[in-house]
Amino acid sequence: MRFFWLVILSLSLPALLLGCATSDFLGNFNLISPREEEQLGEQLSDEIRKESKEIQDKEIVGYIQAIGQKLVSVSMQPGEPYAFHVIKDDSVNAFAIPGGHIYVHTGLIAAAENEAEIAAVIAHEMGHAENHHPTENMSRAIGAQILTGIILGNEPGALQQAAAGLVANGGLSAYSRSAEREADSTAVFLLNRAGYDPNAIVTFFEKLLAIEKQQGGGSIGISLFSSHPDTVERINNAKAQINTFNVQRASAKEIIGGFQAVNAKVKSMDSTGQDAVKTEARR
């Protein structure tokens, strides 16, 4: 799910609360309507706010939202509701939940070298969201019946458990290979269309590979660019897709502006992120 990335430094992926799906998704058994998906997203995001250290700092969140909205404006579904959130978490990760809510970890902002790399990750998560992968993933993992119960407000325990699992695991359980390919392909398309250098997805993948190697490889779950399909294969697929753009290839590493300040702010945050989390409340 995560598009790419969650570098879990200390946890072995726990038996995911939300189930573990490693085979390709066959057929669409997602019976949740778009309206229900939106409601589910609202409920989960409210719960995630309670369960996580969601950042309220306007400079950081505003920056991520601006990148997200830039990508939404060039997407195939520019009218779709999206909400972009930032969570204080040092792992290099981002994830999407149902209803167009996309979460970026502070560790990802800290690890990125420029705005285009952050945009690459957000665009990948949008690829999952556009294709309703998070909802499919959840309905497969906990069952459409419980999911419907959550939407109706009949399953407060399950809602709370699902939100806690999302926060603890940095997103949903693994997406299928085809879902990851689809999200990667959407990301390259959106980056190019927005004016970002689509090679940012390649440089970020390479960064994750380097982190993986540094950590000894193998045992580190990089969920963002999850380890299947193979990261090298994903890099090659992205490069091949970029080559088809020819003259339209975009090259901006920065469109919104302010990367250095946001990157520095995130890096200087205390380990709890409380400063940024509580700043707004104090004002």
- Interface ranges with Zn ion (CB under 5 A): 3, 180, 183
The nearest distance, CB 96 to Zn ion, in angstroms, is: 8
Q: What is the number of the residue whose Cβ is closest to Zn ion? A: 3
Looking at the chain, the number of H-run helices and the number of E-run strands are: 12, 3
* Burial tier of 131 (Cβ tally within 10 Å: 0-12, 13-18, 19+): middle
The nearest distance, CB 2 to Zn ion, in angstroms, is: 5
**CB-wise, 128 or 193, nearer to Zn ion?**
128
**CB-wise, 148 or 178, nearer to Zn ion?**
178
**CB-wise, 2 or 70, nearer to Zn ion?**
2
**CB-wise, 63 or 225, nearer to Zn ion?**
225
Would you say 66 and 259 are in contact if contact means Cβ atoms under 8 Å apart? Answer: no
Number of C-beta neighbours around residue 218 at 10 A: 9
The whole-angstrom separation of Cα 208 and Cα 210 is 5
**CB-wise, 37 or 180, nearer to Zn ion?**
180
Number of C-beta neighbours around residue 190 at 10 A: 27
Sheet holding 83-87, edge to edge: 83-87, 101-105, 94-97
**CB-wise, 116 or 159, nearer to Zn ion?**
116
The whole-angstrom separation of Cα 224 and Cα 216 is 18
**CB-wise, 4 or 196, nearer to Zn ion?**
4
The nearest distance, CB 127 to Zn ion, in angstroms, is: 7
The nearest distance, CB 72 to Zn ion, in angstroms, is: 18
Question: In which element (H, E) is residue 183 found?
Answer: helix 177-194
Mapping DSSP to helix (H, G, I), strand (E, B) and coil, where does residue 174 land?
coil
The nearest distance, CB 94 to Zn ion, in angstroms, is: 9
Report the candidate in 227, 234, 226 with the shortest Cα–Cα distance to residue 202: 234
The nearest distance, CB 58 to Zn ion, in angstroms, is: 28
Would you say 57 and 104 are in contact if contact means Cβ atoms under 8 Å apart? Answer: no
Q: At what angle do helices 231-243 and 199-214 cross, to 10 degrees?
A: 160
The nearest distance, CB 184 to Zn ion, in angstroms, is: 8
